[in-house]
Structure 1
Amino acid sequence: MRKVCFVDTTMRDAHQSLLATRVTTSELAKIAPLVDQVGYHAVEVWGGATFDSCVRYLDEDPWERLDVLKEKFKKTKLQMLLRGQNLLGYRNYADDVVELFVKTMSKHGIDVVRIFDALNDFRNLEQSAKAIKASGMHLQVAMSYTTSPVHNIDYFVEISDAAVELGADSLCIKDMAGLLKPGTATTLVNEIKKRHPIPLEVHSHFTTGIADMTYLKSAEAGADILDTATSSMGFGTSQPGVESIWTALHDVGLADRPDYPLLKEINDYFAGVRRNHSGTDAGFTINTSVLENQIPGGMYSNLINQLKSQNMSDKFEEVLDEVPRVRADLGYPPLVTPTSQIVGVQAVLNVMNKERYKTITKEVERYIKGFYGSPPAEIEKSLKSRVMGVEESISHRPGDTLDLEVEKGRSELGLLAQNDEDLLIYLLLGEVGKKFLAQRYQNSLRVDFDVAKDFKEGITVYPV
């Protein structure tokens, strides 16, 4: 009988969703050899917000994290999440940056790359897909799942065709906010599997409390792989717990019997890790209102922390109400990085200013102008007119008009670009990356950090 496989997300999406991506490399490395024994199809260890968080908050090199975990996982494939032309940053990068980044992450041991575009505009995946295939890694193309007047079964089946045309080795239904319902999942999985006999993975979050039922129905309908996390780092805005999902699938003959003692040891370890990060724990259980506001796990925890930092925690419910209104105005983009940040920040500003669109962020303007791709539906007319005037949004692939960045960045960094890894930290994270590198090399290169920390974008750091 067909058996369903599992991907463990504990080391990436789980703590991104629950703990604002603050789990350290050493915390992950200690338990990695045990996780390697479980028999997962793959472990998701990198990508998403980890690249930024390592540098910005943890003072860690994200490339070194990958090296450490690659050494620990002797049997299990390493998987990551890549945002197409956005890579692991928050804007579209030039094609030469995409190519260099993909080559470099392949060199550091990534086996499976899940790529997606927030708008399901697969023009934004063309360059990364090509580079991934050329590097010999497994290409998984994800469809960002959401619901709206334009997002229906036919829509997702149609874009699955486009994903296969990109050269996908496998497909993924990426349900960021836990919106995929069991009955819909049955139909969607059936339709996709009928058209495309390649592995299909289902990724969801427990935010709305229905993901475990959705997983069961997806597996019964033909899904090959499910994303889960160890229970102490699961549920809430994270993925369903692996122990319960594995047990349920074993009971219906779709999985072998799990190794409960091994899973318990891993679960107990991560329970301690979670206690260590209680200060950033979103403390979220289940909220069925997410079926309406559609806020995904990572966005939810980050909104909470953002409002706390602005002393606006009392405005949280207002922001939750404003998010779907902004989303509708912008043509119903799926709420996933970077569109979740674009919509979220604008919603916070609308509430803070007590007037909608009194201030429009630069990223909302760029979105409306088409620099992130084509929105799923029409943008609200008065908002679009205010931003565009008589201009038209761009219609070409957004990456086509971007100037090459690699050599320019290398020139700007000077001796701080000791290797391609350093250069990519700067190219993706800008001044934050430059300060990180200056601090790292201030002794070996005799960089005056007191001077370097004041440098702005485009200014070269020279050794003293």
Structure 2
Amino acid sequence: MQVNITETVLRDANQSLIATRMPFSDFEGILETINRAGYYSVECWGGATFDSCLRYLNEDPWKRLRLLKEKLKSSRLQMLLRGQNILGYKHYPDDVVRLFVDHAVENGMDIFRIFDALNDFRNIQVAVDETIKRGAHAQGVICYTTSPIHTLEKYAKLGRDLENMGVHSICIKDMAGIMGPQEAYELVKALKESVKLPVFLHTHSTTGLGPITYIKAVEAGCDGIDTAISSFSGGTSQPSTETLHYALRQMGYETGLDVKVLKEINDFFKPLKEQYIESGLMDPFVMGTDTDALNYQVPGGMLSNLIAQLKAQNSMDRLDEVLQETPRVRKDLGYPPLVTPMSQMVGVQAASNVLAGERYKNVSKEVKAYLRGEYGQAPGEIDSELQKKVLGNEKPITQRFADTLEPEFQKIKEKLKGVAQSDEDVLSYILFPQIAEKFFNERQESTALKVSYKIMKV
């Protein structure tokens, strides 16, 4: 049996260990080697990479995608798409979702892993439909979490719902690395018995369970797993690619990977890792095993961002308190899975509760929007006192929030005449207006400087 391996070093490993601060120039030199490794797919875009390119790296994320496609010619490129949230932190109108998928396909994307933070599949329907229409691979996601309300039967039903929606495959997304081996075995088995689609599993090494969980998932019939090249594996990242390849081969499975090429890839990333550690970009905290995560359920990317947030406020000594407050906030909000944007919302609120010295003294606008129903149906009951404190007598909405949004792409395109150089620029602006505008201005200044320099040389 073949077990498909997805390499995450260019996206989730990077996001989990160094908060997505790896510039294209740092890994450009190894892309053609990655292309020869035999991966099922290379996860290299989406998630926080889009935001990070514009905000921190002064890169055009669309150009990055095109360059990735040039170098990874025969590899399937894979991205993480937040359904109606696209790559931002709120819901966008349907026209924007469809156009984003269209342009992602045009620029080289092959596999769209599409999720909704609340497993409210009304919020992924449009993205799935457009992905299928464009001839790309639509992978529907079940965000995994544990709580009194999340059961095997409910997860199996979610799998059937995804199959009925027409997705090509299903991914179980264990953002916080909290899935144990027996849970993985039972869940994969339940899904394989409920649907006829390939089932993939994504987890993290945060709690140390990752490799054992993957092995048991494969024994239950899991078709593919996500791993990171060993120098960027472990901790809040994924289990090691080479380790899983070695173990699976011993067990009689094929992965299609070339060990010699894997070594070349790892040798390339080793010095990069040392460089990130020396600069302080990679915090030792995210590289360890933290079994407390089995309680607070904080995913890797959220943990690295939470640490950065507390450092910025000189409050790293309050990290344990924030992590203890996180599951309490999560319960109050009806047990949402901690994945973007819910992980950020719950984490920021937990930090606010701790630093303010009073719970819900300050409630973020995102949490207010969630309580109004703008993000979809909460998995469980929301704390009634919190809801009343925030909403007063206002009734939460029950319809799909995107149905209340007017199309906006053409309107924004008109507004950006003379500023946006392409439809991709317009999409970048819609997702991150202030950050994109700053990027456009700096790009224009840089172009003007280059022109001026050429004239001077002449």
Structure 1-normalised TM-score?
A: 0.94
Cα distance in 2, alignment partners of residues 355 and 390 from structure 1: 23
Q: Deviations over 1:391-432 (max 9, x none)?
A: 221010110001211122112222111211111111101111
Q: Relative to 1, partners in 2 of residues 1:257 and 1:444: Cα closer, same or farther, differing over 3 Å?
A: closer
Q: CA deviation at 1:198?
A: 1.4
- Amino acid paired to 2:76: K
Map of 2:283 onto structure 1: 282
Q: Relative to 1, partners in 2 of residues 1:257 and 1:66: Cα closer, same or farther, differing over 3 Å?
A: closer
Using the aligned pairs only, state the percent identity. Answer: 48
Cα distance in 1, alignment partners of residues 365 and 132 from structure 2: 34
Map of 1:454 onto structure 2: none
Cα distance in 2, alignment partners of residues 346 and 256 from structure 1: 42
Indicate whether 1:209 and 2:208 are aligned. yes
Q: Relative to 1, partners in 2 of residues 1:127 and 1:307: Cα closer, same or farther, differing over 3 Å?
A: same
Indicate whether 1:182 and 2:181 are aligned. yes
Cα distance in 1, alignment partners of residues 93 and 327 from structure 2: 31
Aligned residue-pair number: 445
Q: Deviations over 1:250-300 (max 9, x none)?
A: 001012585333212211211122222222213221000100000000001
Map of 2:39 onto structure 1: 40
The 5 Å alignment of 1:24-423 reads 24-255=23-254, 258-278=257-277, 279-283=280-284, 284=286, 285-423=288-426
Q: Equivalent residue of 2:217, what SS?
A: helix
Q: Deviations over 1:320-352 (max 9, x none)?
A: 011111111000000010001111111111111
Q: CA RMSD in A?
A: 1.3
Q: CA deviation at 1:307?
A: 0.4
Match among 426, 430, 433 for residue 427 of structure 1: 430
User: Is the Cα contact below 8 Å between 1:23 and 1:273 reproduced in 2?
Assistant: no
Cα distance in 1, alignment partners of residues 388 and 274 from structure 2: 49
- Amino acid paired to 1:296: P
Map of 1:20 onto structure 2: 19
Cα distance in 2, alignment partners of residues 396 and 345 from structure 1: 27
- Amino acid paired to 2:420: A
User: Is the Cα contact below 8 Å between 2:178 and 2:294 reproduced in 1?
Assistant: yes
User: Is the Cα contact below 8 Å between 2:2 and 2:256 reproduced in 1?
Assistant: no
* Structure 2: 5+ residue stretches without partners: 450-458
Cα distance in 2, alignment partners of residues 417 and 218 from structure 1: 46
Cα distance in 2, alignment partners of residues 216 and 444 from structure 1: 51
Cα distance in 2, alignment partners of residues 378 and 282 from structure 1: 36
The 5 Å alignment of 1:443-454 reads none
Map of 1:461 onto structure 2: none
Q: CA deviation at 1:444?
A: 5.7
- Amino acid paired to 1:316: L
Cα distance in 2, alignment partners of residues 75 and 257 from structure 1: 14
Compare 390-399 and 326-335 and name the one that shifted more.
Answer: 390-399
Cα distance in 2, alignment partners of residues 265 and 46 from structure 1: 22
Cα distance in 2, alignment partners of residues 350 and 93 from structure 1: 29
Cα distance in 2, alignment partners of residues 219 and 204 from structure 1: 13
Structure 2-normalised TM-score?
A: 0.95
Q: CA deviation at 1:164?
A: 1.1
Q: CA deviation at 1:442?
A: 3.9
Q: Deviations over 1:173-196 (max 9, x none)?
A: 000001111111111111111121
Q: Deviations over 1:46-70 (max 9, x none)?
A: 0000000000000000011111110
Map of 1:453 onto structure 2: none
Cα distance in 2, alignment partners of residues 282 and 205 from structure 1: 17
Q: Equivalent residue of 2:50, what SS?
A: helix
Q: Equivalent residue of 1:92, what SS?
A: coil
Q: Relative to 1, partners in 2 of residues 1:443 and 1:192: Cα closer, same or farther, differing over 3 Å?
A: closer
Cα distance in 1, alignment partners of residues 394 and 283 from structure 2: 42
Q: Relative to 1, partners in 2 of residues 1:396 and 1:317: Cα closer, same or farther, differing over 3 Å?
A: same
User: Is the Cα contact below 8 Å between 1:113 and 1:137 reproduced in 2?
Assistant: yes
Q: Equivalent residue of 1:58, what SS?
A: coil
